[in-house]
Amino acid sequence: MRRSHAEVAPAVWRALQIYRSAIPPNSLGWYGSDDGDTLPLDDKGWAYIRWQILERTWVDACTVDLEEDASEVSGYNFEYRGRRLNAPIFSHDEDSTCGVTFSFPTEYLLEHGPAQLRALALEIARELPFSFGYASLAFVCPRGSWYGVRQQLFAPLCRYLGMDLYRMEDTSRVIGTRARGAYWLTFLGQPLLGQLGGVEGIGDKLRFPEVSLQPLAGERLLISLGEWPDAIDTEKAPIPPQYRALAHLLETFLYEESTGWFSLSKENMHRWLRRLCQ
């Protein structure tokens, strides 16, 4: 969201309440405090999170991490990185944004089905003034806790091209109003949607039976690439043509990741973000 924290804070809070109402009670059990501690997310903790998002809007940066389990990677997580875009500390980050993620365990998808998850993603997205967003199968590791095992992730990432790996902290600092890639559910806002030719222009280039386009209020669009998210196991089948077509459509507008979180090589990151264009 290429807007400052004070502007998007109410929308982020509403989206978080939608997420909370959809997941099992107490699925979010811990939160990160300002001093670096991880504390139980009880009523007092929720009051603090509400104050942090909705009332402390004058700050240069707002960081919120909510987790299911404080001791290990788990399925339900919420991350928000809010920024005052004109703050001096971000003067060198010309493409900073406010970014937010909501994650679910695979069991949620299998239990409730893709239609319900798609409807929930759409309900959340309607609240947010996004430039770009997506829903995908992913290796979910809050706050980059996969750093120590990233070498072991290379093999599955090379085989399963539909599995996402992200570090929202870094991406939200540099993505601006550009795209991150082609995903099962890809949300496009302005100005990106207009740069791609609008709904009609995109529809002309994505004429596949698996693809559906759903225009949203505020000149935005949801692109669905199939009924189910696809891990894209390249040892069993080639890249689905609708994924490749959307990847090629977005390629000119992909951002460049400047950090080494994926590997020690920036070129590896460049190739990873363009993996479906091959």
Range of the domain at 108: 1-129
* Amino acid (one-letter) located at 197: G
CB 181 within 8 A of CB 134: yes
Q: Is the pLDDT of residue 72 over 80?
A: no
pLDDT value at residue 256: 82
**Does 13 lie in the same domain as 125?**
yes
Confidence band of 124 (pLDDT split at 50, 70, 90): very high
Give tens-digit pLDDT for 84-95.
998 887 667 789
**Does 142 lie in the same domain as 45?**
no
**Does 195 lie in the same domain as 75?**
no
Structural domains in the chain (count):
2
Given 129, 158, 174, the domain boundary residue is 129
pTM: 0.93
User: What tokens were used for 22?
Assistant: 């959809």
C-alpha–C-alpha distance, residues 198 and 193, integer Å: 5
**Does 166 lie in the same domain as 276?**
yes
Given 104, 129, 154, the domain boundary residue is 129
Q: How far is CA 235 from CA 27, 139, 157, 184, in A?
A: 35, 19, 12, 19
Q: Which of 26, 227, 15 has the alpha carbon at shortest distance from 126?
A: 15
Confidence band of 167 (pLDDT split at 50, 70, 90): confident
Q: Which of 116, 117, 133 has the alpha carbon at shortest distance from 125?
A: 133
**Does 178 lie in the same domain as 95?**
no
**Does 194 lie in the same domain as 180?**
yes
**Does 160 lie in the same domain as 205?**
yes
**Does 185 lie in the same domain as 125?**
no
Other residues' Cβ atoms within 10 Å of the Cβ of residue 44? 10
**Does 267 lie in the same domain as 136?**
yes
Average pLDDT over residues 191-195: 97
CA atoms within 13 A on the CB side of 40: 4
Given 129, 152, 182, the domain boundary residue is 129
**Does 186 lie in the same domain as 93?**
no
- Where is pLDDT greater, at 218 or 93? 218
**Does 172 lie in the same domain as 60?**
no
Confidence band of 21 (pLDDT split at 50, 70, 90): very high
pLDDT value at residue 269: 76
Q: How far is CA 187 from CA 12, 125, 129, 180, 183, in A?
A: 16, 8, 11, 11, 9
C-alpha–C-alpha distance, residues 120 and 108, integer Å: 12
**Does 124 lie in the same domain as 183?**
no
